[in-house]
Structure 1
């Protein structure tokens, strides 16, 4: 989630290779992959100035004409993979993600992305409230604040679902 050209700079060294590993693991297991990306309308007519995060963005960023809106090429969607654009922090905001999940009969979400304290947190909490099973891949998430990342992974996400490393998760896919 949110592994876009504009956001990749927020991730620590080595993050992208871990994100690729998680994506390749899901693909190899034949799991449906849904890419989530920030996508705002031109002029940000879908954001409000009161929104502390999105209201403060320059009006040209994360719009269709912004090259930074593109999903990073190393984790770009393969043929047949779904891309869902969102206009807030949670993957569920301003789109048809719930409808897509229902249509695909998906009940267990495995989350990874930038940032742990942003899209991963918001999506994990909302998904749990919507009665999805949630697994957060701890080493496929990144945050500018490593201490906050550790707190979320070790204390918060485990109260709403599971946390796992990519390799631990991969081992469960064969059983």
Structure 2
């Protein structure tokens, strides 16, 4: 798996409030985070944050324009913060991005390359947003890729399942949190 890092993407208060996390999603994600820490893997958080006044949002960007109308993603607002149930520990990196992909408008690639990270384990909300966009870009950047199927969530369960079952396996290893933990836990 190379030098890996766990990416925890867009698990922010407002996004968690919109998504259906009642299926044990946050405890499962917390288990993946705790397992990564125990195995000595870096946990890197990625959040979407837009500047006040949103100068980075074009009216042609349908998703961001709708989010802005809903009052989402303004930097410094409480809802833009990482959800308390999976909060970073002191010293863990938090990356702010400006678009769907964790790489877009951020210094994620620089942080990864500086640390010698060449493989990523992807988690987050939404499967059809940040996870899909980051997976595509990370694949083009030649990262080794793993997607934790049950640590990704989408507001549309059918879209989530189609991506997990049909598209993501073309570019990444797709496993459950428990199977991944079994692979990284020292025996």
* Deviation (angstroms), 1:84: 0.2
Equivalent-residue separation in structure 1 for 2:101 and 2:29 (angstroms): 19
Size of the aligned set, in residue pairs, is: 175
Query: How does the TM-score come out when normalised to structure 1?
Result: 0.96
CA RMSD of aligned residues (A): 1.3
After TM superposition, the structure 1 = structure 2 runs for residues 64-75 of structure 1, keeping only pairs within 5 Å, are: 64-75=75-86
Which deviations, in whole Å up to 9, do the C-alpha atoms of 1:102-160 show, x marking residues without a partner?
Answer: 00000000000001111011101110111001100001011111111111111111000
From 145, 149, 174, give the equivalent of 2:160.
Answer: 149
| Structure 2 SS opposite 1:135 | strand
From 21, 30, 35, give the equivalent of 1:12.
Answer: 21
After TM superposition, the structure 1 = structure 2 runs for residues 1-175 of structure 1, keeping only pairs within 5 Å, are: 1-9=9-17, 10-13=19-22, 14-56=24-66, 57-58=68-69, 60-174=71-185
* Deviation (angstroms), 1:47: 1.1
* Deviation (angstroms), 1:65: 3.5
For structure 1, the residue ranges without an aligned partner over 5 or more in a row are none
Kept in 1, the 8 Å contact 2:97–2:105? The answer is yes
For structure 2, the residue ranges without an aligned partner over 5 or more in a row are 1-8
* Deviation (angstroms), 1:89: 0.5
- Tell me the residue number matched to 2:3: none
* Deviation (angstroms), 1:11: 3.1
Equivalent-residue separation in structure 1 for 2:150 and 2:143 (angstroms): 21
Equivalent-residue separation in structure 1 for 2:82 and 2:96 (angstroms): 11
More deviation, 52-61/127-136: 52-61
Equivalent-residue separation in structure 1 for 2:88 and 2:10 (angstroms): 13
